[in-house]
Structure 1
Amino acid sequence: MKKNLLFLILLCFPVILFAQQDAWVYFKDKQDVATKIADPISILTQKAIDRKNKHNVVIDARDVPVNETYISQLKAASGISVFAKSKWFNAIHVRGSQTDITNLQSTFTFVDHIEFADRSLNVTKNMKQKQQSKFKEALTTFNYGSAANQIQMIKGEQLHVANYTGTGMTMAVIDAGFPNVNTMTSFQRLRNANNILGTYDFVERDVDVYTNTTSNHGTLVLSTIAGYMENEFVGTAPDASYYLFITEDAPSENPVEESYWVEAAERADSLGVDVINTSLGYTTYDNVNYSYTNADMNGNTAYITKGANIAFEKGMLLVNSAGNSGSASWGIVGAPADAAGVLSIGAVKSDGTYAAFSSRGSNAQPSHKPDVMAQGQFSAVITEADIITTSSGTSFSSPIMAGSVICLWQALPDKTNAEIMQLIRESASQYTTPDYFLGFGIPNFQVALNTALSVESEFNDQEINVFPNPVKDLVYFKLPSNENGVTVNVFSMLGKHLLSTLVTPSNNQIEVSSLSKGMYVVQLQSANISKTIKIIKQ
């Protein structure tokens, strides 16, 4: 009897089993990706973060968990059981009838596509279209509006195209007042992302930096980096995080402001700030006995300059306006821009030619000054009244540059502050023939990134070479003599899987002409090799 019962169960079971289908349901997006990547401890253990950092593994959208709200909605769907989930694929494993599973696509707008474990149930045409659509994924693009010329001059928009907009990086803006930043619509995007991490007025010893009516300088400066008005204005690092510090006592000029600045820089260091932008400079004071001379601009005399050199030694990257004394009697770069550890920024006109007010370098300085140039004459800014206008000064060429600097460092997190500065100098228009007016010239951030990635793709251990990088159509792989094949997976910078193939010594290339322009992550895996690199598609 037991045998007969068992036989009956086996006869019926196949019918029950195959009425149910297994499938993977892929979702279109995840929740708060940028915020979670910027705060990886919220999604990864510290040990995991340390390991990724050690091996230069990018923390990206694949590390962000699947949206639990989506999962809950599918669990409640008719005839559907959920068995597993994958953050890497942004998908869940479901079981149900073919009809119930198929209905998920039309019922839930967040479902991207469905793949049945029984591949004969998948519609070949639709799957082919889906694969093609992956290669057409749009990367980060902005309509820069009034701010277009000043970012395009230094090719900072190419960093944005590659999805480097400052996410996860932190800048301290040390300046004068920041009136209305807490209410202006042009900083709404910044506030919505909780990207103003803290404020402090070192002059008044108060956290309020928004009601300082003596100067709107900080607001104008911040707008060139973090301002955002859709289709009208985009700063050079719209997704970075910021600390806003006041150290300038606008009504007077006194060396105590240098002390405030050093105190602010120390706080920035303790908070883990990556980049400091300062659109301030000190040369002469109301009390002439406190004033410096040209000879004092030697990179190691002014208190603020010595403080800046320490800040550089602590690992921060300091970007500072060169000064507006080019056509005045003073003439040369002031403190702290005279420090060797500071990337000092001069000003050019909209056509890239020298702006007469921009302070010049001199042989008194230990390193060539100014370092590089950005648009500082008629730069687009946003006033405290939320009005786009133009203003002139190295006060604006500096933050325009600083935003692209922090985006470049986001792209190259293993580089030191000195290495990032040197990449920027080397990319500039007159690197081999610098002068005291334009310094090394106008940098090209696309070239700076390409140069770094070209070096990066040639692994130090010489196990494998990937070339060319940047690439247009075909990527080639030179494998070591003991390697018969390597699996290559290509992902977008948002973690979307785009391509998987096997590369061998006889078939050592992959076609990438269908990819959009931008940055991609390439993972190489075999029994002997485990590598992750970044490539640029031109």
Structure 2
Amino acid sequence: MRKIVVIVVLGLVQMVWAQEDAWVYFNDKPNVQAFFDNPLGELSQRALDRRQAQGMALNDTDAPIESSYITQLATAPGVTIMAQSKWFNCVHVRGAYSDIQNVLTFPFVHHIHYADNSLNLKMATHVPSVKPFHKTMEVQTSFNYGNSANQIEMMNGQYLHQANDTGSGKIIAVLDAGFIGVNTISPFSRMFTQGHYLGGYNFVAGTTDVFSTHNHGTMTLSCMAGYVDGQLVGTAPDADYYLYITEDVNSENPVEESYWVQAAEQADRVGADIISTSLGYFAFDNPNYGHTYADMTGNEAFASKGANMAFSKGMIVVASAGNDGGSDEPHIGVPAEATHVLAVGAVDSVRNYAPFSSVGPSYDGRIKPDVMAKGYATTVSDTSGNIMTASGTSFSCPVMAGMIASFWQAVPQLSNQQVIDFVKQSADRYSNPDTLYGYGIPNFQQALTTALLTVSEQHETNSFLITPNPAEHDITVSWPEEISAATFTCYNTLGQLVYQETLTTQRTIAVDSWNTGVYLYKIESARSTQTGKIIKK
């Protein structure tokens, strides 16, 4: 009987694996020009402003997928569309190999890339021997009540909070497995009563119900947005939040990387500044789909490519390093290994490395993790609103993401790369990073002091002054007496000329007719050129 059961089980596994996962890439985007003509049909004004403020131009990746391609592909026999990505102009499909191959007959299909690398007409890679681990990160919990002072003060984050830099005006998108109880329990009541919850989506189920499925997102979110006076204060209690479910808790499959990228695209669309994700990918249920350490080169895996793309749109991606430091495969996985992701490892209350925290370097030798935060016995909320402690890089990640939101609020003129640079440079091992701690634990007081000094020095070198900024009705352009004339040019978020004039004296310019948003200006004189942004209220 036991032999029969084993044979039946093996047969079921083979049937499941007969269904392949693949990405189908399209040739083009016929609607690109229509997108450029009306970008607000695809991106929010806040998303456009974020790009403009950091000098990031719109490009083809911002345009949506051609809808007729998806409609036609949906008719392909035996093929199910699971997810889609406009950034990479592709869809994630599932079906038998032969059925998926048949979609190559569609004239708009460029190529297919299978999750099983042995099907991609190249030498099969080594299948990882490690067992699949649950990507929502195992946690160790206890009911040791207390407060969150240690996890904030360890990074001198209280210095920001005391200056009222608590994440206000910044948007954090949280990509996780589920947020049970967030809409009903008291640690998040402040988030709702003050209007900091902006919405969410369950990409696995295809619904707007995010307050279900799993407790993991509830706990991670509490590290940033939770507030119980005297017990728990999140690192960004006044930031705004979008909540996205991308983790299928019932299986380990590469489609979750596609859900992750789809959610990152939505985070971009709504204008989020930061993505906090306590998820990681390495091995899957089907071992043929698994990543290897050799894949950890910064831009190989689909989710890592998506994270890098999110960075190119002006966002900061903060990811858990992983909890496999003591396993046969201890290295940081996807997307924490990505080139432009801030990977966060875990330490305890006295700054010691937590043995479960995944280690670096990346396969191509980059420093990973990037930084560390408290991830051992971190103060969190459970789904009943109880304040407890839990351990895992799942919690060091949001602790760090919230502090970055508060820091960015304090110096909003910084680009995403500048924010990351200042945070790393403030860390206690910056001059001597290693494979356990990376650059170490940031000091946000030091980061802020350095950033403000840098900004001040930059301002002192400017010859021209534009006031007020932000402006509602008009702006005044002025400069030192030694400059006889200057050309003032202003562009909108599409790079279109809005205003240009050669000025010989101080000039007041009416901006009443300008649309609300961010504009780039350039002032050129015989002795200098100055660029910057004007915010029209």
- Residue 457 of structure 1 and its aligned partner are, at CA, apart by 2.1
Task: Give the equivalent residue in structure 2 for 1:344.
Answer: 343
Q: Identity of paired residues, percent?
A: 51
2:285 aligns to what SS in structure 1? coil
AA at the equivalent of 1:399: P
User: Within 2, Cα distance between the matches of 1:365 and 1:227?
Assistant: 38
Offset, 1:211: 2.6
Q: Match of 1:189?
A: 190
Contact 2:54 2:314 in 1 (8 A): no
The corresponding residue for 1:389 is 388
Residue 201 (structure 1) aligned with residue 196 (structure 2): no
The C-alpha deviation readout for 1:333-374, integer Å capped at 9, x for no partner, is 100001111000000011001011100012514631100000
Aligned residue in 1 for 2:451: 452
Q: In structure 2, do the counterparts of structure 1 residues 341 and 189 end up closer, same or farther at CA, with 3 Å as the change threshold?
A: same
Summarize deviations over 1:486-533 as a string: whole Å, max 9, x none. xxxxxxxxxxxxxxxxxxxxxxxxxxxxxxxxxxxxxxxxxxxxxxxx
CA distance in 1, matches of 2:432, 2:292: 28
- Structure 1, residues 399-451: CA drift from partner, whole Å, max 9, x if none? 00000001111111111111100100000001010001000000001100000
Distance 1:274 1:182 in 2: 23
Going from structure 1 to structure 2, the CA distance change for 1:197 and 1:152 (only over 3 Å counts) comes to same
Alignment of 1:300-311 (within 5 A): 300-311=299-310
**Conserved in 2, the CA contact under 8 Å of 1:338 and 1:365?**
no
The answer for unaligned runs of 5 or more in structure 1 is 1-48, 55-143, 465-479, 484-538
Q: Is the 8 Å Cα contact of residues 274 and 317 (structure 2) preserved in structure 1? A: yes
Instruction: Name the residue aligned to 1:247.
Output: 246
> Aligned equivalents of 1:429 and 1:182: distance in 2?
38
What SS does the corresponding residue of 1:167 show, helix, strand or coil? coil
Report the counterpart of residue 211 of structure 1 in structure 2.
212
Mapping of residues 127-166 of structure 1, within 5 Å? 146-166=147-167
- Give the 3-state SS of the residue equivalent to 2:457 in structure 1: coil
Q: CA separation of 1:237/1:250 partners in 2, compared to 1, >3 Å: closer, same or farther? A: same
CA contact (8 A) 1:340 1:366 kept: no
Aligned length: 329
Give the letter for the 1:334 counterpart: G
Describe how 1:383-532 pairs up with structure 2 within 5 A: 383-462=382-461
Unaligned 5+ runs, structure 2: 1-49, 56-144, 464-478, 483-537
Which residue of 2 is the match for residue 131 of structure 1? Answer: none
Against the structure 1 CA distance between its residues 209 and 52, is the aligned structure 2 distance closer, same or farther, given a 3 Å change threshold?
A: closer
- Equivalent residue for 1:332? 331
| Alignment check: 8 A CA contact 1:165 1:236 kept | yes
Q: Which residue of 1 aligns with 2:501?
A: none
Q: Structure 1's 285 and 52: CA in aligned 2 closer, same or farther, altered over 3 A?
A: closer
Q: Spell out, residue by residue over 1:33-89, the C-alpha distance to the aligned partner (whole angstroms, 9 max, x if none).
A: xxxxxxxxxxxxxxxx9x9999xxxxxxxxxxxxxxxxxxxxxxxxxxxxxxxxxxx
Structure 1 Cα separation of the partners of residues 157 and 357 of structure 2: 22
Distance of aligned partners of 1:161 and 1:365 in 2 relative to their CA distance in 1, 3 Å threshold: farther
Matches within 5 A, 1:1-150: 146-150=147-151
Q: Which amino acid is 1:157 matched to?
A: Q
Q: Which amino acid aligns with 1:353?
A: N
C-alpha contact (below 8 Å) 1:299/1:366 kept by paired residues: no
Task: Give the deviation of 1:230 after TM superposition.
Answer: 1.3
Q: After TM superposition, which residue ranges in structure 1, 4 or more long, deviate above 3 angstroms?
A: 51-54, 459-464, 480-483
User: Per the alignment, in what secondary structure is the counterpart of residue 254 of structure 1?
Assistant: coil
Measure how far apart 1:463 and its partner are. Answer: 7.1
Structure 1 CA distance, aligned partners of 2:53 and 2:334?
Answer: 39
Post-superposition offset of 1:300: 1.4
Q: Decide whether the 8 Å contact of 2:337 with 2:362 is kept in 1.
A: no
- Deviation, 1:252, is 1.3
1:226 aligned onto 2:229: no
Query: Following the alignment from structure 1 to structure 2, what is the Cα–Cα distance between the partners of residues 148 and 52?
Result: 34
Kindly indicate whether the alpha-carbon contact (under 8 Å) linking 2:332 and 2:362 is maintained by their aligned counterparts in 1.
no
How far apart are 1:275 and its partner, in Å?
Answer: 0.1
TM-score, structure 1 normalization: 0.59
2:171 matched residue in structure 1: 170
SS in 2 for 1:248: coil
* Structure whose CA Rg is larger: 1
Deviation at 1:199, TM superposition (A): 1.2
Distance 1:282 1:481, change over 3 A: closer
Q: Using the alignment, how far apart are the partners of 1:170 and 1:367 within structure 2?
A: 29
AA aligned opposite 2:171: T
CA distance 1:365–1:188, shift in 2 (3 Å): farther
Higher relative contact order, chain-length normalized (CA < 8 Å, sep 6+)? 2
Aligned partners of 1:162, 1:381: CA distance in 2, in Å? 24
Residue in structure 2 matched with residue 373 of structure 1 by the alignment: 372
C-alpha displacement of 1:219: 0.1
Is contact 1:155–1:445 with CA below 8 Å preserved after alignment? yes
Superposed, 1:219-298 pairs within 5 Å as 219-298=218-297
Q: Distance in 1 between matches of 2:359 and 2:282?
A: 14
Corresponding position of 1:62: none
Change (3 A) 1:164 1:145: farther
Whole-angstrom CA distance in 2 between matches of 1:318 and 1:52: 18
> How much does 1:246 deviate?
0.2
Over aligned residue pairs, what C-alpha RMSD do you find?
2.5
